Amino acid sequence: MNTKQQVSVLLSRICSLSQRKNKRQIVSSCYSSSSSHLLNNYPSIITTTNSIFKSYHTRAVYQKDYLTSTSVSLGVDENGLPLSQSFQKPTISYDDYLLKFRAIELGEIEANQETVKEMFLYIKYDRISGLSHRSREEIEGLYKYALLNCYRFESSFDRSLCAQNLFDKLMEVLFQRELKEFDMSLLEGKVHLKPEDVIPVVLNDTNIYSILIDIYTENNFPEQIFELFGSMKRNFYILHKQEEILQGVSTIESSPVEEQLTISVSDHHEENDKIYVSEEHLQQVINIEMEHIYEPEEPKKEASNSYVSILDAPEDPNDTDVIVENFPRLSAKSFNQLIDACAYIGKIKDIYQLLLFMIHKNIELSTETLNKTIKSCIPSGSSYEALKLFDMIRQHSESVIPNIETCKLLLEACFEAADEHSYKDIYDGMKQLVVCEENNITEIDYENELFFTYLKCKCTSSIPSSCKEALQNIFEYESKIGKKVDISYYNLVMEACARIGEKETSLQIMNLTLKEYGAMKELQEAGTSQVNPQQYLLPTLDTFNNLLKAFSFDGDRRTVDLYKHIKKMCRELFKPNIQTYNAIIATEIKLGDVVRAKKILREIRSRGLIPNITSFNQLFIGYYKTDWEQHMKEFREKERTSVFKTYFEKWEKEQNALKKSQEETTKFDDAVGQAVDEILFDKTSEDPLKPNTTKEE
């Protein structure tokens, strides 16, 4: 079997596996040693396989049609044969191709999938004659029509990757044209420069960039948009700095070129052609090596608490990852799509450069631009950058009017950054901008949309008084709207109380919810019909757990009594989980009672629950605080070097079995479980969590 046949077999296997959407087998097939050798020797195949991996990584959540049985972007047909062999259409001229495309546009030829694929393959496999004699504008116009044709593919996978293949091919065609006209004598003596470093490949028709960006956006391929954006920045930078790059004044790399040491070679050589290095150069090399070996230790500098934003960093003159003056002036829609892609990747600096370029070129900024810019700062928790970009857009474009979505995004950025100072100013200040008759938004509408997000930001504070203020804000909001809010609002405050150990506020919320629960139970016992539980503020499991966490914060002995009381009163609502028992374990550990903490672990196991990493961490802390050496000595006497290792291995096996079967945890009936029981647990001791019950109960 020759190499071409091996490539054909590989692609056939990829296509057949793609029909079953077997991701792992596709990856293993393409990453085997023989397949890697084939792919490295056939660059046209590399794009296809890389696209498959990118598609699986970025598109599995968004789309379901990324691989189809007739996927033209894989380069094979329905039978698994390469399209370069199965596509038997004769070569057509440039004019005939345009006439056929216009006939499709006018509806004279049916735009079915076979016709769309045929128009794409004409260009991909060079079946159009006379292109070498066509001008640059005609070549770009041809590929522009082909890119518009990609909109007609049914599969989003085909639409995006076929457009990418066409663009890569166009860039290669234009590069070869520029290479023929380039004076290669300019690169003589410049070893560090390659032709692609000094020959820019830019498009005169900037609509091609807009079409490609739009195709990627519609089909959720943000990585490809960002890759295209990087290619545009690089090529337009080379075009702008071409003369400086050739003269060595400017570089095409992101970091300055290091100075290279020159070796002086003697003009006279002996018969054995030895190279003689001057003593001066030899001493220079020795000094450099000695500096690396005996580099003096620099005194440690005190870490400054001041925050330095990437937007405030000084400009680097050697930075090539910038937008130059001659960057194409695309439409406002295309720039918004570029900002959206950079926001998905998390490139705030690139968004900043795009905004500066749009302001400098007087490109219209919209509320959509503002919201997408702020959205990019949320994943990294950059509230400072979000506010700075907001001020910059508002300063240069008074027509941009923020809406409720803008306020919500700013508050989300403050929440992710745990910014305890800016959220209140944003909430109050944006109310004056948004609440007006022109926007048809009232103060109640504003608070209904943003109060929950505002409450999340307020609950990030570590000050106990902030929990009381948050609860008071909920009461004031309820009086405004005239009804009770959802329990999730109160759970936010309870979670903040659990984080800082605020017992008073958490008890106040619990009493409020228990009163609501008691009132509902009285109506049900009285036989009142149509009792709707949704009308009452009923506690949830998170409410109970956060209360126990607040009491276990400082090891309050009332935690276990509180657990028993809640379980007795709210047996229908309170179903303890692993977080419930972890709170009780934390209480016993802080009280220094490791034995009782181990008994609670037994209760966890008896209820079919699996201890998590928090459970083990609490026990490790308990052993650390107590006589650790004595415990380890007892373990060694029983020939156990690490009881926690054995217990953790058993727990890990049970967790894997639980994920596979989705059934209740099986009992510890093997030898390892029995050994752990003998070492950790005293079976004859009384369970501290079981309430005192009578035989009648």
Do residues 335 and 438 both lie within one domain? Answer: yes
Do residues 48 and 153 both lie within one domain? Answer: no
Residue 302 banded pLDDT, cuts 50, 70, 90: very low
Q: Which domain holds residue 128?
A: 87-191+203-220
Secondary structure, 3-state, 484-536: CCCHHHHHHHHHHHHHHCCHHHHHHHHHHHHHHHHHHHHHHHCCCCCCCHHHC
Residue 194 confidence (pLDDT): 83
In the predicted structure, residue 24 carries a pLDDT above the cut 90: no
Residue 494 confidence (pLDDT): 92
Instruction: Give the least confident one: 41-55, 185-199, 314-328, 529-543.
Output: 41-55
In the predicted structure, residue 272 carries a pLDDT above the cut 70: no
In this prediction, residues 481-491 reach a mean pLDDT of: 90
pLDDT digits (tens, 9 = 90+) for 101-121: 899 988 888 888 888 888 999
In the predicted structure, residue 367 carries a pLDDT above the cut 50: yes
Do residues 335 and 405 both lie within one domain? Answer: yes
Give domain status of residue 93, yes or no: yes
Q: Which has more confidence, 634 or 388?
A: 388
In the predicted structure, residue 19 carries a pLDDT above the cut 50: no
Q: Which has more confidence, 188 or 689?
A: 188
* 3, 117, 428, 450, 582 from 482: Cα distances, Å: 77, 61, 22, 17, 38
Residue 491 confidence (pLDDT): 92
Across the chain, mean pLDDT equals: 75
Residue 80 banded pLDDT, cuts 50, 70, 90: low
Q: If we measure between CA atoms, which residue out of 169, 261, 246, 267 comes closest to residue 212?
A: 169
> Helix axis angle, 383-396 relative to 367-375, nearest 10°?
160
Residue 535 banded pLDDT, cuts 50, 70, 90: confident
Residue 648 banded pLDDT, cuts 50, 70, 90: low
Do residues 13 and 122 both lie within one domain? Answer: no
In this prediction, residues 594-616 reach a mean pLDDT of: 80
Which of 435, 458, 481 marks a domain boundary? 458
Give domain status of residue 153, yes or no: yes
Residue 674 banded pLDDT, cuts 50, 70, 90: very low
Residue 636 confidence (pLDDT): 53
In this prediction, residues 531-552 reach a mean pLDDT of: 87
Distance CA 377, CA 386 (A): 6
- φ, ψ for residue 690, nearest 5 deg: -80, 125
Cα angle 207, 208, 213 (rounded to 5 degrees) comes to 95
Give domain status of residue 342, yes or no: yes
Give domain status of residue 368, yes or no: yes
Do the bridges between strand 92-93 and strand 128-129 make them parallel or antiparallel, or are there none, so unpaired? parallel
In the predicted structure, residue 689 carries a pLDDT above the cut 80: no
In the predicted structure, residue 693 carries a pLDDT above the cut 50: no
Which of 35, 65, 82 marks a domain boundary? 82
Residue 338 confidence (pLDDT): 93
In this prediction, residues 665-694 reach a mean pLDDT of: 42
In the predicted structure, residue 551 carries a pLDDT above the cut 70: yes
Distance CA 479, CA 302 (A): 51
Residue 88 confidence (pLDDT): 76
Do residues 437 and 333 both lie within one domain? Answer: yes
Q: How many independent structural domains does the chain possess? A: 3
- For residues 539 and 488, is the Cβ–Cβ distance under 8 A? no
Of these ranges, 226-230, 459-463, 515-519, 671-675, the one predicted with the greatest mean pLDDT is: 226-230
Instruction: Give the least confident one: 420-434, 548-562, 593-607, 635-649.
Output: 635-649
| Polymer length of the chain | 697
Q: Which has more confidence, 525 or 329?
A: 329
Instruction: Give the least confident one: 81-90, 557-566, 636-645.
Output: 636-645
Which of 44, 60, 82 marks a domain boundary? 82
Instruction: Give the least confident one: 276-285, 381-390, 443-452, 601-610.
Output: 276-285
Distance CA 201, CA 143 (A): 15
Instruction: Give the least confident one: 18-22, 158-162, 223-227.
Output: 18-22
Do residues 126 and 97 both lie within one domain? Answer: yes
Residue 283 confidence (pLDDT): 63
Distance CA 243, CA 238 (A): 9
In this prediction, residues 178-200 reach a mean pLDDT of: 82
- For residues 584 and 629, is the Cβ–Cβ distance under 8 A? no
Cβ burial of 594 (10 Å; 0-12, 13-18, 19+) is buried
Do residues 97 and 122 both lie within one domain? Answer: yes
In this prediction, residues 20-47 reach a mean pLDDT of: 43
Give domain status of residue 30, yes or no: yes
In the predicted structure, residue 166 carries a pLDDT above the cut 90: yes
In the predicted structure, residue 167 carries a pLDDT above the cut 90: yes
For residue 363, how far is the Cα from the chain centroid?
A: 29
278-297 burial code (b ≥16 CB/10 A, e <16): eeeeeeeeeeeeeeeeeeee
In this prediction, residues 180-189 reach a mean pLDDT of: 80
In this prediction, residues 417-435 reach a mean pLDDT of: 85
Q: If we measure between CA atoms, which residue out of 128, 210, 215 comes closest to residue 173?
A: 128
Instruction: Give the least confident one: 203-207, 211-215, 439-443.
Output: 439-443
Give domain status of residue 346, yes or no: yes
Of these ranges, 288-292, 629-633, 655-659, the one predicted with the greatest mean pLDDT is: 655-659
Do residues 131 and 211 both lie within one domain? Answer: yes
The torsion angle over the Cα atoms of residues 208, 213, 216 and 220, rounded to 10 degrees, is: -170
Give domain status of residue 232, yes or no: no
In the predicted structure, residue 336 carries a pLDDT above the cut 50: yes
Q: If we measure between CA atoms, which residue out of 370, 381, 305 comes closest to residue 336?
A: 370
Do residues 105 and 214 both lie within one domain? Answer: yes
Percent of the chain residues topping a pLDDT of 90: 20
Residue 139 banded pLDDT, cuts 50, 70, 90: very high
The pair of structure tokens assigned to 231 is 């290619």
Residue 475 banded pLDDT, cuts 50, 70, 90: very high
In this prediction, residues 230-254 reach a mean pLDDT of: 75
Four-residue CA torsion sign, 627, 633, 638, 641: positive
Do residues 91 and 28 both lie within one domain? Answer: no
Give domain status of residue 144, yes or no: yes
Residue 52 banded pLDDT, cuts 50, 70, 90: very low
In the predicted structure, residue 335 carries a pLDDT above the cut 70: yes
Do residues 339 and 450 both lie within one domain? Answer: yes
Q: What is the residue-wise DSSP string for 167-181?
A: HHHHHHHHHHHHHHH
Do residues 141 and 37 both lie within one domain? Answer: no
In the predicted structure, residue 179 carries a pLDDT above the cut 70: yes
Residue 420 confidence (pLDDT): 78
Q: Which has more confidence, 110 or 302?
A: 110
